[in-house]
Amino acid sequence: MAGRKLDVERLNRISPRAGFLEAGVGLGDLISTLVDTVRTRPVSFGAFAPGTAPAKVKTVAVLWYYLDGILRTKAATDDLWTLTGPDLPAAGANCRKYLLCLDAAGAATVLQSSDATTLAGCVLPPYPAAKCVVGILNIVNTSVGAFVPGTTLLTVANVTDTYTEGDGGMRALPALR
């Protein structure tokens, strides 16, 4: 079996979620991906909400997550994530997603998607190294002005903020049928 390559086209037909595989991917590569998926993932989900400060996000419950195979926790924290990035216009590409990430020390970072006319059209960045995506913030701006990360309140009129618990299936195991 050493050096044997997967029939990637067949695997991708069997499981659409495995569509990230490329021709020439070895079995070892697939196993490594599966192990990484299990070793870094959110376990329980705290509720997310707008923070007290402008354009910040808080947790209102304890978050449990695995990072590199070690179970970690983060207490409920106000103003944990600070949104960054360019202004989000009120028209045109007025939708954006933010990955809400925690590292081994519980430090928070955000990564933004591309902007799009619908949330479904937003392209998420690659899964970050040495971090666990514990939630995703979805922003739709239909106000009269731009949404300015770090300045505009998430609770302002016509800025809709919704939250996805966990990583939204970014690290889901391929489902073979």
Better-scored residue on pLDDT, 162 or 15? 162
Q: Report the pLDDT value the prediction gives residue 25, as an integer from 0 to 100.
A: 55
Better-scored residue on pLDDT, 16 or 134? 134
The count of C-alpha atoms lying within 13 angstroms of the C-alpha of 174, restricted to the half-sphere facing its C-beta, is 21
State the CB neighbour count (10 A cutoff) for residue 76: 13
pLDDT at 99 over 60: yes
State what percent of residues in the chain have pLDDT above 90.
50
The Cα 83–Cα 138 span in angstroms is 12
For 42, 72, 84, 92, 125, the CA distances from 129, given in Å and listed in that order, are 15, 16, 19, 32, 12
What DSSP state is assigned to residue 54? T
Highest mean pLDDT among 32-36, 70-74, 167-171 belongs to 70-74
Better-scored residue on pLDDT, 116 or 167? 116
**CATH number belonging to the domain at 42-165, selected among 1.10.287, 2.80.20, 2.40.30, 3.40.50:** 2.80.20
For the entire predicted model, the pTM comes to 0.77
Q: Report the pLDDT value the prediction gives residue 96, as an integer from 0 to 100.
A: 96
Q: Report the pLDDT value the prediction gives residue 174, as an integer from 0 to 100.
A: 46
Domain boundaries, the chain: 42-165
